Amino acid sequence: ISGMSGAGKTTLTLALAGAGLGMLADDVTFYQAATGNQPGQIWGIRTRCKVHTRTIELLPWLRDLPAGSVSLNGERLVNSRSLKPATTNLTAAPGIILFLNPRNPEAHRIEPMDKLAALTRLTRENVRAVDQRREAVAGRAFEALTELVRSSRTFQASLCPRLEELPEQFAALWS
């Protein structure tokens, strides 16, 4: 899941995790490109999730998870390791890249995304180094993202507040 800060990545991830899907990580994920006969892998660092008060209103079951104190901007730290079912996987094979667009009040909108547009957006939202040489950090990152997009189905979504509808809508993507 990719999107600018505040797009709802954590809210979407928690909504899907609350419906029984596993959660690999929040905010800190890495992609290791395929090498030889080894497929690409995504791996993450399980940290506590910064959860906005509004997300807790939309997903009231979050109140039951162990949490830290409320910060000044109305966020709580929620221990994602407490999610049920517990996720024990340390890595996952890439399959779908989902870009979050601004929210909308009407209905969830999920649609396929062109691979070139997906690569452009993934690079813009995730590559922080700037160097024109292919063998430099930015060049290697771009090459890995290119392979990730090539090997994945790409979608963009604009979500509405009815989070209880998300698992059913996203189930169609995985089938």
pLDDT tens column, 58-105: 888 887 777 665 665 777 777 777 776 555 667 888 888 899 998 888
What are the C-alpha distances in Å from 61 to residues 19, 54, 57, 85, 162? 11, 13, 9, 14, 15
Helix (H) or strand (E) holding 52: strand 48-52
pLDDT at residue 130 tops 60:
no
Q: Return the percentage of the chain with pLDDT > 90, whole number.
A: 11
How far, in Å, CA of 31 to CA of 6, rounded?
A: 22
81 three-state secondary structure: helix
What residues contact 85, with CB distance under 8 A and at least 6 apart? 20, 22
Residue with the bigger pLDDT between 70 and 159: it is 159
**pLDDT given at position 111:** 93
Q: Residue 30, Cα to own-chain centre: how many angstroms?
A: 11
At 118, is the pLDDT very low, low, confident or very high (cuts 50, 70, 90)? very high
Mean pLDDT of 154-174: 84
Answer with the residue of higher pLDDT: 48 or 135.
Answer: 48
pLDDT for 68: 62
**Phi and psi torsions of 80, nearest 5°:** -70, -20
Which pLDDT belongs to residue 49? 79
pLDDT, one tens digit per residue, over 134-147 is: 566 666 777 888 88
- Could you tell me how many residues make up the chain? 175
Does this model's pTM top 0.85? My answer is: no
Predicted confidence band of residue 116 (pLDDT cuts 50, 70, 90): very high
